[in-house]
């Protein structure tokens, strides 16, 4: 029994050592965080009432298909996979056109669960993976907010992130896409980077945090093309330390470690390769490191104002140098999709890019629906933060201002904006309410109320009003959780007490009834679905890799049937699919969800003249002669287009092509 008493004694001694720390973390704070994280899970898991399906976003099923390939064939097989189902007849070089981060992560989680004896399928793991990442992101932003402004800011930031509609829309059940990892990586990188530059931390700790930040950025590089933004954010912050005269050697050390770790890993990812080092944002990042290294060597030999002048000249030289290298073709220019975010006027040059709904410019309605009162609170918090000139607050302010600009340019990036709105909105809210919630004696509170010119009662009313103003955002989050947003729901209208499943029925029918060597032509939106669930070859899918081939599909749809057949023959296409949405109770009433609303983009991307199809708001004879109109109306020439499948409500139609 002596050994047992010894173990108990050591255990009690260990508890006594941690008792002060436990006292510091109040039960209220811990329980509040627990409730927030539970709320984050509940809001995202509620759509399961409509079935455990993937989101209607096309990329989600592609990511599942890649994860399935990795699980069945091994991780190394991914690096040599040429997918013959997509982009017929060329196929798709998967490792050089997609990111491994998300499917590899799902495969790792699946393998871990199986090894532990859990009976989960890969499908289940992929369906629930977004909720896991949302949980981790809300936890991570709590830590980041606590570092930035205390525990109150941490809890508020986590709450805003948990119920923010913009974040829910990309992390709900079945939204298995790259943004899950991208947002988490941005928050994690920011947390570790800011901790790595804390002056009071020992050198070893700062190095470890720098490595963790570099690994977080590497995870971002391996998962989402928007990692360019994270690199740009680091460059912007480092430049701002010079501008605000805050730069120290510790900044250069952390920055250098992050660039080294992330770059070494990134060049091993096929979609990046060695060319990663020559991209505009990385040339700027490495160039800034070199300039800071030189600045570090000379700044001790000159006065303060001369050092400031030199730093300004260095930054200007860096910007000009990158532009010159790009204009001379020595480094590749930014891809069109990134350039169009910086300069929205570039967008008109690519109808294909414009055709995607999430590539449109944001409106004030978008900002209000997604953020409500937290956006003006973030503006207020940023204003106060910039005035304090503290490193972490400056970083949060730069994150907010840059994300605000990019979101205004591209509505999809409202997701990235959700991070700084949560962070700076929480900071602004704390600063706004702190005078009314200040602790102290009655005399202190009375003097403060007199200075503010408000009574105790009015102060309480103001606090309650601020919290109540967040209710519309919570209500919007609840509405999203109560809405069907998955592939199992063809149109978001209940019919006979249930949501129609025409698409699932059509995909299963193609899988079971079409020959293995079938080549199915459809608009590019549905390519991933046909490849993943029907296992049939398609001409195009959501990757939009070949704009010319998508343009040819547009011409197939919008030219007359004899002209369309000539192009179809070039591909030896066997079947053609159209998606036509209308009210079954009143077929003359169209719903703008299918090809009947997308034909406009087929004309533009196909390089055709829109005025030949619609003039003064009326369809022309050429529109009524188009292949897609006749396919949707089931009036196509039966000698060449034989209707072989009609979904339950007649929305999905599949024709066999006869030459």
Beta bridge partners of 582: 590
Q: How far is CA 657 from CA 15, 518, 572, 643, 651, in A?
A: 75, 11, 9, 9, 19
Each domain of the chain, given as residue ranges in start order, spans 2-32, 197-332, 502-657
Grouping H, G, I as helix, E, B as strand and the rest as coil, residue 584 is coil
For residue range 117-174, list pLDDT tens digits in order: 999 999 999 999 999 999 999 999 999 999 999 999 999 999 999 998 889 988 999 9
| pTM, full prediction | 0.87
Among candidate residues 68, 137, 134, the one with its CA nearest the CA of residue 106? 68
Q: For the chain, give the mean pLDDT.
A: 85
Q: Residue 7 — very low, low, confident or very high, per pLDDT cuts 50/70/90?
A: very low
CA separation for the pair 87, 82 (Å, rounded): 11
The answer to whether 550 touches 538, Cβ cutoff 8 Å, is no
Beta bridge partners of 578: 653
For residue range 403-449, list pLDDT tens digits in order: 998 887 777 788 899 999 999 999 998 888 776 655 555 555 555 55
Assigned token pair, 639: 């000698």
Residue count (the chain): 659
Q: What percent of the chain has pLDDT over 70?
A: 82
Output the pLDDT for position 49: 85
Backbone angles phi, psi at 582, to 5 degrees: -150, 165
Domain 502-657 has CATH 3.40.50.12610: yes
Assigned token pair, 89: 């007849």
Q: Quick one: average pLDDT of 318-326?
A: 69
Q: Quick one: average pLDDT of 578-586?
A: 92
Grouping H, G, I as helix, E, B as strand and the rest as coil, residue 75 is helix
Output the pLDDT for position 237: 95
DSSP character at residue 654? E
For residue range 26-56, list pLDDT tens digits in order: 788 888 899 999 999 999 998 888 888 888 7
Output the pLDDT for position 15: 44
């Amino acid at each position: 029994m002596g050994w047992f008493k010894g173990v108990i004694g050591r255990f009690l001694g260990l508890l006594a050592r941690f008792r002060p720390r436990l006292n510091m973390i109040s039960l209220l704070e811990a329980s509040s965080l627990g409730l927030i994280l539970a709320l984050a899970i509940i809001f995202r898991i509620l759509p399961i009432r409509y079935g455990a399906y993937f989101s209607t976003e096309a990329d989600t099923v592609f990511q599942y298909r890649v994860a399935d390939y990795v699980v069945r064939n091994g991780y190394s097989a991914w690096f040599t996979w040429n997918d013959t189902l997509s982009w017929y007849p060329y196929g798709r070089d998967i490792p050089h056109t997609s990111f491994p981060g998300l499917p590899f992560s799902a495969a790792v989680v699946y393998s871990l669960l199986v090894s532990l004896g859990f009976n989960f399928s890969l499908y289940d793991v992929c369906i629930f993976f977004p909720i896991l990442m949302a949980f981790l992101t809300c936890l991570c932003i709590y830590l980041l907010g606590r570092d930035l402004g205390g525990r109150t800011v941490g809890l508020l930031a986590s709450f805003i992130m948990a119920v923010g509609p913009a974040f829910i829309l990309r992390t709900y059940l079945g939204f298995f896409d790259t943004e899950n990892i991208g947002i988490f990586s941005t928050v994690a990188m920011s947390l570790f980077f800011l901790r790595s530059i804390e002056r009071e931390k020992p050198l070893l700790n700062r190095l470890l945090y720098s490595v963790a930040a570099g690994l977080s950025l590497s995870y971002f590089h391996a998962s989402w093309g928007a990692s360019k933004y994270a690199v740009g954010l680091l460059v912007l912050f480092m430049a701002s330390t010079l501008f605000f005269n805050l730069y120290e050697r510790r900044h250069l050390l952390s920055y250098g470690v992050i660039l080294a770790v992330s770059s070494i890993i990134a060049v091993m990812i096929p979609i990046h390769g060695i060319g990663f080092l020559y991209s505009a944002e990385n040339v700027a990042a490495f160039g800034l490191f070199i300039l800071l290294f030189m600045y570090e060597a000379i700044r001790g030999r000159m006065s303060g104002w001369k050092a400031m002048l030199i730093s300004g000249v260095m930054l200007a030289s860096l910007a000009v140098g990158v532009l010159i290298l790009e204009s001379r073709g020595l480094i590749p220019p930014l891809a069109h999709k990134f350039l169009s975010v910086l300069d929205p006027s570039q967008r008109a040059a690519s109808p294909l890019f414009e055709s995607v709904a999430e590539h449109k410019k944001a409106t004030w309605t978008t900002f209000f629906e997604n953020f409500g009162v937290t956006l003006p609170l973030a503006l207020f918090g940023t204003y106060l933060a910039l005035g304090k000139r503290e490193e972490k607050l400056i970083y949060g302010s730069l994150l907010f201002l840059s994300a605000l600009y990019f979101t205004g340019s591209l509505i999809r990036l409202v997701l990235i904006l959700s991070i700084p709105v949560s962070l700076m909105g929480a900071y602004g809210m704390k600063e706004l309410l702190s005078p009314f919630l200040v602790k102290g004696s009655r005399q202190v509170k009375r003097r403060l109320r007199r200075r503010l010119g408000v009574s105790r009662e009015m102060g309480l009313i103001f606090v309650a009003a601020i919290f109540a103003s967040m209710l519309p955002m919570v209500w919007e989050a609840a509405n999203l959780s109560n809405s069907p947003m998955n592939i199992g729901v063809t149109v978001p209208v209940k019919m006979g007490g249930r949501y129609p499943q025409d698409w699932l029925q059509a995909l299963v029918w193609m899988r079971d009834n079409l020959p293995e060597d079938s080549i199915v032509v459809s608009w590019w939106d549905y390519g991933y679905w046909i490849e993943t669930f029907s296992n049939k070859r398609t001409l195009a899918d959501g990757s939009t890799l070949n704009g010319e081939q998508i343009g040819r599909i547009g011409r197939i749809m919008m030219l007359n049937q004899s002209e369309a057949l000539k192009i179809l023959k070039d591909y030896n296409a066997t079947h053609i699919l159209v998606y036509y949405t209308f009210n079954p109770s009143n077929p003359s009433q169209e719903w703008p969800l299918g090809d009947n609303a997308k034909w406009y983009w087929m004309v533009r991307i196909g390089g055709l003249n829109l005025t030949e199809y619609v003039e003064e708001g009326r369809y022309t004879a050429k529109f009524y002669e188009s292949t897609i109109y006749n396919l949707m109306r089931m009036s196509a020439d039966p000698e060449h287009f034989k209707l072989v499948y009609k979904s339950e409500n007649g929305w999905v139609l599949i024709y066999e092509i006869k030459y």
